[in-house]
């Protein structure tokens, strides 16, 4: 198989995967929209969420996406060390975001507001938790990419993988913008 055929096959496969994630998240958003008022007498989003906390989370993830974009620009210049530095910063910001998300989940559960309390909380934990699972996969992907680039350099193969990772990471930012807007902002209104 030629390099071009492998690139097309990999890219098409990745876009197919990404579209299945679009369907997954669309389903979770619809589920949340249906269940967000089903609090079963418990607290609703306006009582549970701290907007300053969620804003910091959002800024961390958006900044990580910007830095990931800088990694792609560095890749185009064949600046291996700049790519590795940008991946490291992206990882740290993504890990900080994930840590804040886990802290929020832990706090909610400690206060008696677990996914078992109401339809709203089940939908919330499922939607936000699925996004968090994707962030975790992205962090693992960053680690693998950094190791490959560190060992092999910026080859056509590692560069293609880096571009696909970047698309994945930016996709997660788009999903988070919807979560931030529909779950947190509308929930606080």
For 84-99, write each residue's pLDDT tens digit: 999 999 999 999 999 9
**Domain 3-32+52-188: assigned CATH number:** 1.20.120.80
Q: Is 136 exposed, middle or buried (0-12, 13-18, 19+ CB in 10 A)?
A: middle
Convert the pLDDT of each residue in 9-43 to its tens digit: 888 999 999 999 999 999 999 999 999 999 988 89
Contact between residue 123 and residue 32 where contact means Cβ atoms under 8 Å apart:
yes
- Vertex 82 angle, CA 76 and 84, to 5°: 105
Phi, psi of 37 (to 5 degrees): -95, -5
What number is the average pLDDT over the span 46-54? 94
pLDDT higher than 70, residue 1: no
Average pLDDT, the chain: 95
Per-residue pLDDT band for 187 (boundaries 50, 70, 90) equals confident
Give percent above pLDDT 90 in the chain.
89
What number is the average pLDDT over the span 174-185? 96
Contact between residue 171 and residue 134 where contact means Cβ atoms under 8 Å apart:
no
Convert the pLDDT of each residue in 100-131 to its tens digit: 999 999 999 999 999 999 999 999 999 999 99
How far from each other are the two terminal CA atoms of the chain, in whole angstroms?
A: 55
**Domain residue extents for the chain:** 3-32+52-188
pLDDT at 121: 97
pLDDT at 161: 94
């Amino acid at each position: 198989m030629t390099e071009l055929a492998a690139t097309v096959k990999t890219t098409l496969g990745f876009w197919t995967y990404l579209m299945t994630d679009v369907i997954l998240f669309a389903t979770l958003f619809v589920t949340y929209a249906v269940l967000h008022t089903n609090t079963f007498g418990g607290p609703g989003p306006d009582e549970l969420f701290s907007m300053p906390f969620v804003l910091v989370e959002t800024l961390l993830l958006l900044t990580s996406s910007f830095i990931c974009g800088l990694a792609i620009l560095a890749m185009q210049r064949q600046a291996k060390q700049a790519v590795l530095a940008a991946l490291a910063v992206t990882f740290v910001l993504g890990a900080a975001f994930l840590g804040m998300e886990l802290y929020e989940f832990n706090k909610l559960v400690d206060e008696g507001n677990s996914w078992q309390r109401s339809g709203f909380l089940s939908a919330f934990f499922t939607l936000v938790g699925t996004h968090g699972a994707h962030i975790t996969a992205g962090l693992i992907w960053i680690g693998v990419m950094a190791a490959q680039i560190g060992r092999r350099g910026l080859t056509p193969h590692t560069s293609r993988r880096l571009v696909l990772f970047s698309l994945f990471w930016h996709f997660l930012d788009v999903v988070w913008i919807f979560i931030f807007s529909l779950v947190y902002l509308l929930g606080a209104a």
